[in-house]
Chain A
Amino acid sequence: MIKNKKNTILGFCALAALFLVLFVLEKLLPTGSMLFVVLKKGAIYALVAASMNLLNGFTGLFSLGQAGFMLIGAYCYAIFTIPVQHRDAVYQYFDGGLIQFTVPVVVALIMAGLAAAIFAALIGLPVLRLKSDYLAIATLGFAEIIRAIFQWDALGPLTNASNVLRRYPLFSSTLFPFIVAGICIAIIVLLINSSYGRAFKAIRDDEVAAEAMGINLFKHKQMAFVISSFFAGVGGALLAMYQTTIQANAFKSAMTYEILLIVVIGGIGSISGSCIASFLFIACSEWWLRFLDAETYIGAFKVPLLRSGFRKVVFSIVIMAVVLFYSKGLMGDKEISFQGISGFIKDPFGLVSRRKKKTEGVHIDG
């Protein structure tokens, strides 16, 4: 119990330090720095990945509908926050649109989550009776249908059809997505560590046993699905703020696969793994590996292979290496902890303890 308390205090200190560092960085570095792009998008993807992990990693429901729920969240946020004086310009083909009022940003964020959650509850009724691959196919299909419906002309007064939505309030500081994503991820972690989180894990481990121990399968699956979608919706709203404009066509299944990739690289069943992997993934794809796409000359020598598209080749190889050699992801199903970090610093890659075991073995043999 005392150890637990100490860890909580340490955790809060680490979080406070993180926010302080962010605050200072924002004052020091130019706003256009790539670091902020990575931090903003990374925080948003971390939230969506954590929400997907709640479903795929903790409840054992293999769902691929994340992009669809993000789309609903993003649209809900944009539709309700575009200032009334800009609506004529944004909805230029639809006489200024249907909705002629705005709500505060925080309320709109919550509404975005709720809208996604309501859709999840509705499609959960038929879809959650399916298992594994079938569930994945059904949710993927749902996400594609949503994308098509939001571009439908008849819904134009609401969704602006296939035109972009813009001029809604954005965030200027990197702190904003960090705070919102931080709160949401904290709630997800609290849920996972509660009695309901244990019930989710029981369903993942053995459905038959879970049901025989009095856990209502459908109710708990529906709950995980709705809560996961809520946070995906909030994540979608944040993504809309980050991108400054949104259009339904951007929420393709490729986006779901990116998030799935983050979950797998981070470790299925580890929230901190999802967060770390999210920042790594975004940093690699937006920043560190960009040089691979540019043709480079050293003097008169043209560096071979470097050309547009080569980044994706390298990226794929990196992912294959991760899957082959870290098949459980960076974190497996463990969470990051201070003991873990101090252990890693003292003994990276378990070299010391492995050697110790070897010598002990020799002792026994001798």
Chain B
Amino acid sequence: MADTLLKLEDVTVQFGGVLAVDNFSMEVNEGEIVALIGPNGAGKTTAFNCITGIYEPTNGQISFNGQVIASNYPQGKMKKMYASQNMGKYTKVVKHTPDIITRMGIARTFQNIRLWNSMTVFDNVLTAKHMRAKHNVFSATFRISHVEEKRMREETLNLLEEQNLVQYKDDLATSLPYGLQRRLEIARALATEPRLLLLDEPAAGMNPQETQELADFIVQIKEKYDLTVFLIEHHMDLVMKISERIYVLDFGRLIATGTPAEIQRNQRVIDAYLGVAEDA
């Protein structure tokens, strides 16, 4: 059994009276491809945003690589409003901004592509290398760290070559076709040298051909960069094909977990997706 890389314990996110994520616990082991699925509005992206520090959980704890990266318990007004379980189990508050989380080794892509539109393909990837570069504003401005800059440029070029994006390197990011923009976003995430890659609906808006290519691509980068992948996806053929384990959320609650084959047979999952007949 490989080591646990990402661990969510009793994570609850409550917005006002709405439970977006309800007492959700899960694990991602090192080297796995794990998928998170569920109907629209099930709280998948909210869970992602908690992991990457955009939201903070209302209750619960998230740890990465053995280190607690987020922990919270209901306080103030939320004390009265809190509608989920495990109140009082956590007494620590840990929060980090998204850039710290990324520095720890979690990179992500977005459901609606968020590339830097005024920059070229090359600069998009190069800018993501900024975080890991050994320089300060003085040495960068006066070109004292030009060796570092040269290294960043070479690595960027290599990365683009590996992702088959090198022929577009001087084009504006927005001028790329949709599928390639998705791939560029993944390349940009890889430039931050992550251990865990979070993909938020990477196949959204892709045709079956592109989805197929994406599936191969994800497996390929996982092997190449020694990654762990955790993805949200609606395309079931993609999820079933590449993921080793699947978690299913519905209305913020975990309703099933298991291998693709188990999930396909699970009655609760089928009900969640297709709805249950009233008189059955």
Contacts and interface: CB of A to CB of B under 8 A. Distances in A.
Interface-centre pick from A194, A208, A209 (highest chain B CB count, 10 A):
A209
B166 interface: no
A252 interface: no
A213 B119 contact: no
A211 B103 CA distance: 10
Contacts of A164: none
Interface stretch (B20-28, B133-141, B261-269): B133-141
Given A195-B140, A208-B54, A214 B117 contact: no
Nearest to A216: B99
Contacts of A201: 116, 118-119, 123, 127
B72 interface: no
Contacts of A216: 97, 99
B140 A212 contact: no
Which residue, A201, A211, A214, A216, has most C-beta atoms of chain B within 10 A? Answer: A214
A202 interface: yes
Given A208-B54, A211-B98, A216-B97, A199 B141 contact: no
Interface stretch (B2-10, B11-19, B107-115, B243-251): B107-115
Contacts of A198: 119, 123, 126-127, 130
A310 interface: no
Interface residues of A, number: 27
A212 B124 CA distance: 13
Contacts of A206: 114-117
Given A190-B142, A212-B98, A199 B130 contact: yes
A305 interface: no
Contacts of B107: 212-213
Contact of A214 (B99, B118, B119, B137): B99
Contact of A209 (B115, B130, B140, B191): B115
A198 B135 CA distance: 14
B143 interface: yes
A214 B116 contact: no
Contact of A205 (B102, B118, B140, B141): B118
Contacts of B108: 212
Contact of A191 (B123, B126, B141): B141
A196 B116 contact: no
B149 interface: yes
Contacts of B132: 214
Given A195-B135, A201-B118, A187 B110 contact: no
A45 B152 CA distance: 36
A333 B110 CA distance: 27
B102 A212 contact: yes
Given A211-B99, A215-B99, A187 B127 contact: no
B131 A213 contact: yes
Interface string A323-343: 000000000010000000000
Nearest to B139: A194
Contact of A213 (B118, B149, B152, B192): B192
B127 A213 contact: yes
Nearest to A190: B141
B114 A190 contact: no
B188 A213 contact: yes
Contacts of A212: 52, 54, 98-99, 102, 107-108, 110, 114
Given A195-B149, A202-B119, A208-B54, A214 B102 contact: yes
A223 interface: yes
Contact of B118 (A194, A211, A217, A333): A333
Contacts of B242: none
Contacts of B54: 208, 212
Contacts of A223: 137
A70 B117 CA distance: 33
A209 B133 contact: no
B184 to A, nearest CB: 12
Interface in B19-45: none
Contacts of B204: none
Interface in B191-206: 191-192
Contacts of A208: 54, 110, 114
A214 B131 contact: yes
Interface in A183-242: 187, 190-191, 194-196, 198-199, 201-202, 204-206, 208-217, 223, 227
B128 interface: yes
A333 B120 CA distance: 14
A269 B117 CA distance: 14
A227 B133 CA distance: 21
Closest CB pairs A-B (n = 7) = A214-B131, A205-B116, A214-B102, A209-B114, A194-B140, A198-B127, A211-B98
9 contacts: A190-B141, A191-B140, A204-B118, A206-B115, A212-B110, A214-B128, A214-B131, A214-B192, A227-B137
